[in-house]
Amino acid sequence: MSKYVEGRHLSELQADKTNQIVFWTRGNFPTQQVEGLTEKIVLENFKLLYLLSGTILASTSYYFESPITQSVTLVLKDFFEDGSAVFFFDEDLDGPTDHAKSKIAKSPDGTTVYKDRKKILSDAKKLENLGDSLVRRENVSISDKMVGLWIEDILSTDNYSIGFYINKEITIQYQQEAIKTKLIEFAKRRDKDFVWEFIQPTLISCGLTNEKFHIMARKRLSQMYSLATARTLSASLDKKVSYSQINQDSKHDTYLFSICLNQLGILDKILAMRPNELKALKNSTEFGIFRNCYFKLIDDLSYDPSSILPGISLISTFEESYAQKGSDAFFVQNFLDLVEKCHLPKEKFQNSIDEIKNIIEKFNIFAVNKFVEKVKSSNFDNNSKEKEELVFYKLKEYKQTAIKNVIFYSLFLLAGAFIFSLDRFFDEFSWKNLRYVKNFAGSVIFFIPFIRSFFNHGQLAKYFLFLISKKEQKRIRIEITNNISN
């Protein structure tokens, strides 16, 4: 039995009730596609999630399917190596390699990423060497959970549900019911992973070919995956997954958190921190108190973002005034009147103000302003080192791809040239009448690299030029750097 099956189980992390376990939705390749997430956005999201969470959960499949997730894992590998972030796989599988083989077998034909078996197995080996970054989970089918959510959504008439859009797309009622029945039955009979490549052909066969409908369905499917996984693993989410009122998961909503940090004027500085700097900040007393205050504010204001965002600024203002005037009851009342004028719930805000007063009196520290002061006064460098590491990794990856392609297609050229050189051999054995077959085969094999390069917009030529020209190497480096910056 492998060390992974004998190793850590998710239940061990869940046993610690103080450990806030959060599922990382933006590491998912389909989510990155439907939301248009860039590498920069995903990297920044992960940094903020690290500060808000105890342990970050990611599916092992993320690493196989998303180049962005692979890059972010490389740049922030310290968090995976020390177990702050972990990739999970089913407990009956023998580690990432076994998980990779399972995905290759279960994935629908249209899932192109799992066609390159050699690369997937190579990626699995990289994961196995990534420190304390792997945990087993209970063997419960997430696809089965998604099917349940899918059926609920098909039958729903709520705005933004798939059922709502089917009713909007198909105006005749009996056709609506027939389509919904077909989509439900095919989901129940699934024999592959419940992913877009499995679902799309059935949507098309039902006459649901509208591109906007497909975009909506993919986005909804991404949300179902996030919700089904979080429920299965008893984890919070890094964002809300419905269009309804903000909920408990907003405590770890990195978008909401980023807006609050931006209001305090410290977002850019935090996003520029390297892993060791983020670790130091997360372990600081100032951040611990601030985070508790932030979570308390979300609790008190019923997770309403229209209250939370100005609430953070108002608490900062309260602390500044409190430092000058102390716990004067008249001052506190005036401040609460100001809260009311800002159209915020005065009674609920009272709880957060009382909490701030208790923190000041007990710890002699200002929950918000002391944290802001710590971040602003810290001499953190910008993220240039982080970018350099990522550029180096991407450049190395590009070079490996270039070498592989040039060698592979050079073999075609050599094979074609060798076939052309067999004239004497054919003459010797009196096979002259087969020479035209030989020449045709040689021509096809010889020109395959050129044909391939033509359809790839000259990519093979670019690879060759990259290996022999320093100027081309410099151009590719600049192109990679610009892509990362964007």
Residues 84 and 196 in one domain: no
Higher pLDDT, 97 or 289: 97
Whether the per-residue pLDDT at 25 is higher than 80: the answer is: yes
Residues 73 and 157 in one domain: no
- Taking residues 297-316, report their average pLDDT: 64
SS3 of residue 59 by DSSP:
strand
Residues 36 and 132 in one domain: yes
Domain boundary among 377, 407, 436: 377
Residues 148 and 127 in one domain: no
Closest CA relative to residue 73, chosen from 65, 82, 85: 85
Higher pLDDT, 179 or 449: 179
CATH code, domain carrying 36: 3.40.50
CA-based angle 254:142:8, to the nearest 5? 75
Residues 302 and 397 in one domain: no
Residue 409 located in a structural domain: yes
**What tens digit of pLDDT does each residue of 321-374 get?**
666 655 555 545 555 665 565 555 656 666 666 766 666 666 566 667 777 878
Residues 113 and 9 in one domain: yes
Return all residues near 15 (Cβ < 8 A) that are at least 6 apart: none
So what's the pLDDT on residue 38?
92
Model confidence at 402, pLDDT cuts 50, 70, 90, reads confident
Range of the domain at 294: 274-377
- Taking residues 208-229, report their average pLDDT: 91
Residues 371 and 428 in one domain: no
Model confidence at 398, pLDDT cuts 50, 70, 90, reads confident
Residues 196 and 303 in one domain: no
- Taking residues 226-250, report their average pLDDT: 74
Higher pLDDT, 154 or 401: 154
Model confidence at 205, pLDDT cuts 50, 70, 90, reads very high
Residue 237 located in a structural domain: no
Say which range, 8-17, 378-387, 389-398, has the weakest mean pLDDT: 378-387
Most distant pair of Cα atoms in the chain: their distance: 113
DSSP state letter for 238: S
Higher pLDDT, 452 or 297: 297
Residue 84 located in a structural domain: yes
**What tens digit of pLDDT does each residue of 169-181 get?**
888 989 999 999 9
Whether the per-residue pLDDT at 244 is higher than 50: the answer is: no
Residue 211 located in a structural domain: yes
Domain boundary among 78, 113, 137: 137
Say which range, 45-49, 139-143, 184-188, 479-483, has the weakest mean pLDDT: 479-483
Residues 54 and 10 in one domain: yes
**What tens digit of pLDDT does each residue of 53-90 get?**
999 999 999 999 999 999 999 899 999 988 999 999 98
Average pLDDT, the chain: 79
Name the residue type at position 187.
A
CA dihedral 376, 380, 385, 389 (to 10 degrees): -80
85-90/236-237 β-pairing: unpaired
Domain boundary among 118, 137, 156: 137
Higher pLDDT, 58 or 427: 58
Model confidence at 4, pLDDT cuts 50, 70, 90, reads very low
Calculate what percentage of the chain has a pLDDT beyond 90.
Answer: 29
DSSP bridge partners of 58: 87
CA-based angle 428:434:438, to the nearest 5? 95
Residue 246 located in a structural domain: no
Residues 287 and 331 in one domain: yes
So what's the pLDDT on residue 169?
87
Residue 252 located in a structural domain: no
So what's the pLDDT on residue 296?
78
**What tens digit of pLDDT does each residue of 259-295 get?**
888 888 889 989 988 898 899 899 988 888 888 878 8
Residue 415 located in a structural domain: yes
Residues 366 and 406 in one domain: no
Residues 10 and 131 in one domain: yes
Say which range, 33-42, 232-241, 345-354, 366-375, has the weakest mean pLDDT: 345-354
Rounded to an integer, what distance in angstroms lies between the CA atom of residue 78 and that of residue 82?
6
Q: Scanning the structure block, which residue is given the tokens 């600024």?
A: 313
Residue 420 located in a structural domain: yes
Higher pLDDT, 159 or 339: 159
- Taking residues 158-163, report their average pLDDT: 86
Q: Cα 62 to chain center, whole Å?
A: 7
- Taking residues 42-54, report their average pLDDT: 95
The answer to whether the predicted template modeling score (pTM) of the entire model surpasses 0.75 is no
Instruction: Count the domains in the chain.
Output: 4
Whether the per-residue pLDDT at 303 is higher than 80: the answer is: no
Structure tokens at 465: 């030029």
Q: Which of 242-251, 297-306, 394-403, 438-447 has the highest mean pLDDT?
A: 394-403
DSSP state letter for 242: S
